[in-house]
């Protein structure tokens, strides 16, 4: 008997019929991959435990890592009149429960949502009992976002319910920014992919947790620069807590900031992140102890190097590459030919995936060094670090 060939998911065009077909599948409890402005999400009925279980199973995601609920309705940005503010709408729809919240905390949440929704901001707020514990891994709060991708919004509205949607990749792997990435990650496991073309932002949403007194913690840097959020808050964001907390039943394991899992977004091949750009590194790298694991791999007889430069200067990078690492790359790409963070974020996951699928056997990247403290650069460098968590080089 020959093994049967793997089944692919059906690609749906983002037409009215495509969206309606996808919405039907969601209402029937099935999973659909949908485009958002950040990355593709693996969507399922957000308030149905059985659909949530399917998401965890398809991704092989541990149930201690909670999901984001995606919502959509007309906001004040869509139309000038006749719509309530997003926080009131979240309460009215029984998704969040803000008992004991100070007026100032409410005002902060309202301001953030009015400014950044729809868009790549996820807010973590106290959950309404109606939200299944499985969605939040037993935590008393729920992560919610309103994407700005028109196909995602149309799908959520056609489905008529909040959609839980983690990035549509297998757990720990590179996030998908095109429909074909989803096909190769999950095509055998899901029925439908809505193809909305390449994602515009390219890195996931910024996750902020708000407390009842208005305190705001940055749980994951992402598509909206922290500085823009701080401008609305009028004060700096707090660092995330380091300790996992227990769920309401005292169940251990759920982490308060699970987005901070150290290894994530990882290629399959060994992937090393340099401590500075190639040109800024000393010439005698092979003699530096922290570079030993990398040199052990690139000196193997059939080793082939894949390289991701951060900046524009590819021409000179090629010669510096031979000089510093002892060989040219069989696959070489530049994160942002113009050196800007917007392009780098857009291209990041796609290029990591391309390198992973190239003929290279060892992957090396330069760090991203622009807009690193407050801007989108923070999210790019965060993803590079987590993708290389097993192979970090320090000087």
Output the smallest distance, CB 389 to Mg ion, in A: 14
Q: Which stretch binds Mg ion (CB under 5 A): 159-167, 194-202, 322-330, 352-360?
A: 159-167
Q: Please enumerate in sequence order all residues whose Cβ is within 8 A of that of 206, keeping only pairs 6 or more positions apart, or say none.
A: 120, 121, 122, 218, 220, 221, 222, 223, 224, 225, 226, 229, 379
DSSP summary character for residue 373: S
Q: Are 289 and 275 in contact (CB under 8 A)?
A: no
Q: Residue 306 and residue 189: Cα distance in Å, rounded?
A: 30
Q: Residue 388 and residue 393: Cα distance in Å, rounded?
A: 9
Output the smallest distance, CB 55 to ligand TXA, in A: 9
Output the smallest distance, CB 350 to Mg ion, in A: 15
Please state, in angstroms and as integers, the Cα–Cα distance from residue 352 to each residue in 43, 272, 384, following that order: 24, 12, 9
Query: Nearer Cβ to ligand TXA, position 183 or 205?
Result: 205
Q: Residue 293 and residue 291: Cα distance in Å, rounded?
A: 6
Of ligand TXA, Mg ion, none, which one does residue 67 interact with (CB within 5 to 8 Å by kind)?
A: ligand TXA
Of ligand TXA, Mg ion, none, which one does residue 310 interact with (CB within 5 to 8 Å by kind)?
A: none
Closest CA to 267 of 207, 307, 301, 300: 307
- Indicate which single residue of 75, 122, 167, 350 sits in contact with Mg ion (rule: CB under 5 A): 167
Instruction: Output the six-digit token pair for 185.
Output: 């990650």
Of Mg ion, ligand TXA, none, which one does residue 132 interact with (CB within 5 to 8 Å by kind)?
A: none
Output the smallest distance, CB 221 to ligand TXA, in A: 11
Output the smallest distance, CB 163 to ligand TXA, in A: 9
Residues within the interface to ligand TXA (CB under 6 A): 36, 38-39, 41, 65-68, 120, 122, 124, 136, 139, 141-143, 147, 165-167, 204-205, 207, 219-220, 256-259
Instruction: Output the six-digit token pair for 278.
Output: 């190639």
Q: Which stretch binds Mg ion (CB under 5 A): 3-11, 144-152, 162-170, 238-246?
A: 162-170
Output the smallest distance, CB 330 to ligand TXA, in A: 31
Output the smallest distance, CB 141 to ligand TXA, in A: 5
Q: Are 348 and 176 in contact (CB under 8 A)?
A: no
Instruction: Output the six-digit token pair for 138.
Output: 């037993």
Output the smallest distance, CB 300 to ligand TXA, in A: 34
The residue of the chain with the least Cβ separation from ligand TXA equals 259
Of Mg ion, ligand TXA, none, which one does residue 68 interact with (CB within 5 to 8 Å by kind)?
A: ligand TXA
Looking only at the bridges linking them, the beta strands covering 141-145 and 216-220 are unpaired
Q: Residue 109 and residue 174: Cα distance in Å, rounded?
A: 31
Q: Residue 310 and residue 162: Cα distance in Å, rounded?
A: 38
Of ligand TXA, Mg ion, none, which one does residue 66 interact with (CB within 5 to 8 Å by kind)?
A: ligand TXA
Of Mg ion, ligand TXA, none, which one does residue 371 interact with (CB within 5 to 8 Å by kind)?
A: none
Q: Are 297 and 346 in contact (CB under 8 A)?
A: no
Q: Which residues in the 195-254 window bind Mg ion by CB under 5 A?
A: none
Of Mg ion, ligand TXA, none, which one does residue 187 interact with (CB within 5 to 8 Å by kind)?
A: none
Handedness of CA 135, 21, 188, 268 (dihedral sign): negative
Of ligand TXA, Mg ion, none, which one does residue 65 interact with (CB within 5 to 8 Å by kind)?
A: ligand TXA
Binding site for Mg ion (CB under 5 A): 167
């Amino acid at each position: 008997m020959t093994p049967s060939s793997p089944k692919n998911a059906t690609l749906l065009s983002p037409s009215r019929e495509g969206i309606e077909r996808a919405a039907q599948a969601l209402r029937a409890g099935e999973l659909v991959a949908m485009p958002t402005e950040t990355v593709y999400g693996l969507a399922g009925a957000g308030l149905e435990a059985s659909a949530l279980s399917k998401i965890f199973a398809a991704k092989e995601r541990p149930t201690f890592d909670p999901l984001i609920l995606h919502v959509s309705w007309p906001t004040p940005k869509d139309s000038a009149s006749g719509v309530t503010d997003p926080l009131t709408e979240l309460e009215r729809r029984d998704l969040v429960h803000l008992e004991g919240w100070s007026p100032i905390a409410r005002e902060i949440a309202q301001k953030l949502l009015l400014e950044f929704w729809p868009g790549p901001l996820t807010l973590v707020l106290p959950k309404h009992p109606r939200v299944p514990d499985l969605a939040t891994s037993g935590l008393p709060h729920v992560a919610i976002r309103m994407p700005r991708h028109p196909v995602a919004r149309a799908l959520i509205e056609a489905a008529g319910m909040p959609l839980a949607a983690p990035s549509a990749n297998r757990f720990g792997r590179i996030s998908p920014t095109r429909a074909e990435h989803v096909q190769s990650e999950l095509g055998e496991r899901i029925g439908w992919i809505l193809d909305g073309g390449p994602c515009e932002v390219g890195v996931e949403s910024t996750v902020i947790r708000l407390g009842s007194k208005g305190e705001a913690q940055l749980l994951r840097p992402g598509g909206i620069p922290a500085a823009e959020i701080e401008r609305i808050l009028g004060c700096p964001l707090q660092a995330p807590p380091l300790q996992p907390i227990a769920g309401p039943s005292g169940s251990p394991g759920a982490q308060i900031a699970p987005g901070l899992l150290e290894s994530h977004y990882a290629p399959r091949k060994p992937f090393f992140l340099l401590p500075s750009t190639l040109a800024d590194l000393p010439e005698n790298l092979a003699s530096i102890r922290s570079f030993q694991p990398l040199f052990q791999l690139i000196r193997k007889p059939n080793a082939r190097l894949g390289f991701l430069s951060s900046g524009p200067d590819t021409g000179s990078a090629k010669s510096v590459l031979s000089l510093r690492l002892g060989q040219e790359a069989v696959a070489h790409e530049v994160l942002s030919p113009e050196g800007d963070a917007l392009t780098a974020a857009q291209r990041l996951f796609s290029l990591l995936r391309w390198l992973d699928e190239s003929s290279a056997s060892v992957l090396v990247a330069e760090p991203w060094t622009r807009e690193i403290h407050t801007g989108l650069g923070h999210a790019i460098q965060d993803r590079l670090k987590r993708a290389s968590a097993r192979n970090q080089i320090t000087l």
